[in-house]
Amino acid sequence: MSTSTPLEPDTFAITADLAQPRLPAWAVLLDVVLAAGVAGLLTLLLGWSPYAGLVLAIVLAALGMPLWSLLVEGRRAAADRLATSVVWASFGVVLVPLVWLIWLVVKNGIGVINSEFLSYDMRNVIGEGGGIYHALWGTILITLAAAIISIPIGLFTAIYLVEYGRGSRLARVTTFLVDVMTGIPSIVAGLFALSLFVLIFGPAIRIGFGGAVALSLLMIPTVVRSSEEMLRLVPSDLREASYALGIPKWRTIVKVVLPTALGGIITGIVLAVSRVIGETAPLLVVAGATDTVNFNLFNGRMTTLPVYIFQQYSQPGIVGPAGGDPPGYARAWGAALVLIAIVMVLNLVARIIGTYFAPKTERRR
């Protein structure tokens, strides 16, 4: 930006540019209605399936607006319109499977959930009845233990990568290894944890804590990767301001860097917890399966909700004289719904914590 006063012709050019015609706000609405109309008509006339009609309507609407804009508003505005269409369309498309999935779980699960389902375990239950109490506790305890192991390790590793080890060989190798670690199949993590505990405690060991170790192996990379990115985005002005006041580096990290990045870090942690809370295979291998509630992570088998769901699905029992689905299916859907609800609450709590601790910034949302 030059500081000299603008000359007359420039001013004219700007006004000319600003004066370019713009489509009114209702143009978007008209575009959508027209696209839907055309697609609906074609679908009816040519006898297409409603899905094909819907796809056509979305494509027409997404392309119609930029074309119209190109004719009236010019190339740059058309590109902008196109981008907007694409972003909206992609959002709409993603929403379909998501809503479908959640609807399926809620529809099938809601009928099962009652106080008995939540407070009974499966001890001595055959056929109908029984509940998820043992699996609920198993999930809470094992996931909590996994979080307690992996959050400090993950967070400190991210701090090392961003604040201390920048450019060092250890940092580069660690970043790479963390990426490799994201690809460990969950069952391999389970087998590894099992052989580790068998090595220490003998072959008969099946404990909930083993499951937590396996899960943290899956959780750490997500925590590291997401917190690393968030720490990296903290403006260096903030750090420098803090150093300038003579504050030690570690206090700067604790008091300035971490709070600034807190929202993102919490998203990452919640994501990591969500990623592992639904794991089945490793837990079946290390933590075993039981019908009975067990509160001790370090002694005896523990069942978690996903293991419970898998068991109820694969061994649903036999259909009663009334017919219909085997009793296990309903329990599996109910447990899935409860699991999603747990994560929802967890998510909410994490977000509340996040907003209370995070400093006021100019960030959106």
Partner 1 sequence: MSVTAPPQPPRAAKPVVRPGDRIFAGTARVAALTIMLALAGVFVFLALEGYPGLSAPERIYAPATDFWSYVGPLVFGTILAACVALVIAVPFSIGVALFISHYAPPRVAVPIAYVIDLLAAVPSVVYGLWGGLALAPATRPLIDWLYDNLSFIPFFAGPPSVTGRTMLTAGIVLAIMVVPITTAISREVFAQTPRLHEEAAMALGATRWEMIRLAVFPYARSGVISAVMLGLGRALGETMAVAMVLSATPVVTLNLISNSNPATIASNIASNYKEATPDKQAVLIATGLVLFAVTFVVNFAARWVISRGERNLTR
Partner 2 sequence: MIRTSFRRAIVPGLAVLALALTGCGAGNSSDGSDGGDAGSSLSGSLAGGGASSQDSAQQAWRAAFQTENSGVTITYDPVGSGTGRENFISKAYSFAGSDSYLNDDEGELSSAKERCGGEDAIEVPGYVSPIAIVFNVPGVDSLNLDAKTVASIFDGKITTWDDPAIAALNDGADLPDTKISPVHRSDDSGTTQNFTDYLNKAGDGAWSYDADGVWPIKGGEAAEGTSGLVAAVKGGEGTIGYADESQAGGLGLVSVKVGEEFVAPSAEGAAKALAVSKPVEGRSDVDLAIDIDRTTTESGAYPVLLASYLIACQTYDDANEAALVKGFLSYIVSEAGQQASATQAGSAPLDAELSAKASKIVGAISAK
Tell me the C-alpha distance between 252 and 361, whole Å: 17
Among 24, 47, 97, 203, binds partner 1 (CB under 8 A): 97
> Which residues lie near partner 2 (CB under 8 A)?
116, 119-127, 130-131, 133-134, 198, 202-206, 284-285, 288-293, 295, 300-301, 311, 313-319, 323, 326, 349, 352-353, 356-357
Q: Does 89 participate in binding partner 1 (rule CB under 8 A)?
A: yes
Of 225-254, which residues contact partner 1 (CB under 8 A)? 225-226, 228-230, 232-236, 239-240, 243, 248-251, 253
Q: Does 101 participate in binding partner 1 (rule CB under 8 A)?
A: yes
CA distances from 160 to 12, 154, 171, 172 (A): 55, 10, 8, 11
Smallest separation, CB 228 to partner 1 (Å)? 7
CA distances from 43 to 31, 53, 61, 96, 236 (A): 18, 5, 15, 20, 57
From partner 1, partner 2, none, interface partner of 298 (C-beta below 5 to 8 A by class): none
Nearest CA to 62 out of 18, 32, 34 is that of 32
Among 215, 310, 327, 334, binds partner 1 (CB under 8 A): 310
Among 179, 296, 299, 352, binds partner 1 (CB under 8 A): 179
Look-up: residue for tokens 């747990």? Answer: 342
From partner 1, partner 2, none, interface partner of 331 (C-beta below 5 to 8 A by class): none
Nearer to partner 1, 117 or 308 (CB): 308
Nearest CA to 332 out of 283, 292, 274, 280 is that of 280
Fill in the amino acid letter for 227: S
CA distances from 324 to 103, 251, 317, 330 (A): 21, 63, 12, 11
Nearest CA to 137 out of 285, 305, 287 is that of 305
From partner 1, partner 2, none, interface partner of 309 (C-beta below 5 to 8 A by class): partner 1
Q: Does 258 participate in binding partner 1 (rule CB under 8 A)?
A: no
Both tokens of 22, joined, read 């713009």
Q: Does 354 participate in binding partner 1 (rule CB under 8 A)?
A: no
Q: Does 8 participate in binding partner 1 (rule CB under 8 A)?
A: no
What DSSP state is assigned to residue 288?
-
Smallest separation, CB 348 to partner 1 (Å)? 8
Q: Does 195 participate in binding partner 1 (rule CB under 8 A)?
A: yes
What stretches of 73-204 show up as alpha helix (H) in DSSP? Answer: 75-109, 115-119, 133-159, 169-181, 186-201
From partner 2, partner 1, none, interface partner of 295 (C-beta below 5 to 8 A by class): partner 2
Q: Does 222 participate in binding partner 1 (rule CB under 8 A)?
A: yes
Smallest separation, CB 297 to partner 2 (Å)? 16
Tell me the C-alpha distance between 357 and 91, whole Å: 31
Among 211, 263, 327, 328, binds partner 1 (CB under 8 A): 263
Count of residues that interact with partner 1, criterion CB under 8 A: 115
What DSSP state is assigned to residue 6?
P
Smallest separation, CB 308 to partner 2 (Å)? 12
Fill in the amino acid letter for 48: W
